[in-house]
């Protein structure tokens, strides 16, 4: 049986997994929507921790140098996994799919929108990396508008040697944990932070950071796009978010519709109701637009 409303496909960001959406999906479902999530290749149940983590006493140098067990994960694998989930969502909703991506998950939803634009009602970035054609995430992260980002201070070792961007999600060092909280979860309680940090994995394959965006006006540009700006963000600063919106609009054409939350990088945790309300409004507007175009 087809869903009566749009289906949301929710894509987590770097070092996170599907549990990031645990406070959002019940709200969407209570409002009559279906919400589908997954752990991307290399994330969540698909993540493999460096073996050096299990060695005692802990050797920081070994941890900083060990080749990542997930170094081989590619952006194409992630794109294919989400395309498959979008196709499942489309089968439940007569093609009414809202694709949502947080942070680094923005690279994947852009690739999916380019691949299957006909299956999407809209694409939504939550403090997401929405970058122009030919540019990788790393180049955007290094742009001057991202200079206030705290998250690079979390990176351990040389990504070129490790094959991944590594963080020490399980660190007990007080300064490091404070930086982790400030980067991703600045407006959540200590207990909520501890729970969220326990779900993080250690390595994000370099492929996600180095694979260039491949978006075109005729395909990606045909999908209505929305961007949820997070004003207190210390991982993807607001200046960087606005720069990405302006750059992609200039390169692709059309206008990204913007929404704003006074939140940290993780509104799915700190403001799930407000975030869900924005997503529901986007779905309602998208369905209305589809109906109007069908007349």
Q: What is the pLDDT along the chain (295 residues), one digit of tens a residue?
A: 344 589 999 999 999 999 999 999 999 999 999 999 999 999 999 999 999 999 999 999 999 999 999 999 999 999 999 999 999 999 998 878 999 999 999 999 999 999 999 999 999 999 999 999 999 999 999 999 999 999 999 999 999 999 999 999 999 999 999 999 999 999 999 999 999 999 999 999 998 899 999 999 999 999 999 999 999 999 999 999 999 999 999 999 999 999 999 999 999 999 999 999 999 999 999 988 887 887 6
pLDDT for residue 256? 98
Return the residue matching tokens 């290094």: 142
Is CATH 3.30.2010.30 the right assignment for the domain spanning 7-294? no
pLDDT for residue 145? 98
Domain limits, the chain: 7-294
Both structure tokens of 118 = 């006909």
pLDDT for residue 4? 57
Q: Is 163 left (phi over 0), alpha (psi -120 to 50) or beta?
A: left
pLDDT for residue 276? 98
Q: Full-prediction pTM beyond 0.75?
A: yes
pLDDT for residue 74? 96
pLDDT for residue 2? 44
**Residues carrying an active site annotation:** 103
């Amino acid at each position: 049986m087809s869903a009566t409303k749009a289906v949301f496909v929710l894509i987590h960001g770097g070092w996170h997994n599907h549990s990031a959406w645990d406070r959002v999906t019940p709200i969407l479902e209570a409002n009559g929507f279906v919400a589908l999530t997954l752990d991307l290749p290399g994330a969540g149940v698909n993540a493999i921790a460096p073996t050096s983590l299990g060695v005692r006493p802990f050797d920081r140098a070994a941890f900083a140098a060990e080749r990542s067990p997930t170094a081989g994960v590619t952006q194409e694998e992630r794109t294919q996994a989400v395309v498959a989930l979008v196709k499942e969502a489309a089968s439940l909703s007569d093609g009414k799919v809202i694709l949502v991506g947080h942070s680094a998950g923005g690279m994947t939803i852009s690739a999916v929108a380019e691949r299957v634009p006909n299956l999407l009602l809209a694409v939504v970035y939550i403090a997401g990396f929405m970058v122009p054609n030919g540019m990788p995430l790393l180049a955007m992260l290094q742009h001057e508008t991202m200079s206030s980002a705290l998250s690079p201070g979390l990176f351990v070792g040389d990504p070129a040697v490790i094959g991944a961007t590594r963080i020490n999600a399980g660190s007990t060092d007080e300064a490091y944990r404070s930086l982790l909280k400030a980067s991703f979860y600045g407006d959540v309680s200590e207990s909520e932070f501890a729970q969220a940090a326990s779900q993080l994995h250690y390595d994000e394959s370099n492929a996600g950071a180095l694979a260039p965006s491949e978006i075109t006006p005729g395909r990606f540009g045909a999908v209505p796009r929305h961007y949820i700006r997070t004003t207190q963000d210390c991982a993807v600063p607001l200046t960087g978010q606005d720069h990405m919106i302006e750059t992609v609009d200039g390169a692709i054409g059309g206008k990204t519709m913007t929404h704003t939350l006074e939140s940290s990088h993780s509104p799915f945790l700190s403001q799930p109701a407000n975030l869900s309300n924005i997503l529901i409004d986007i779905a309602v507007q998208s369905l209305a637009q589809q109906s109007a175009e069908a007349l």
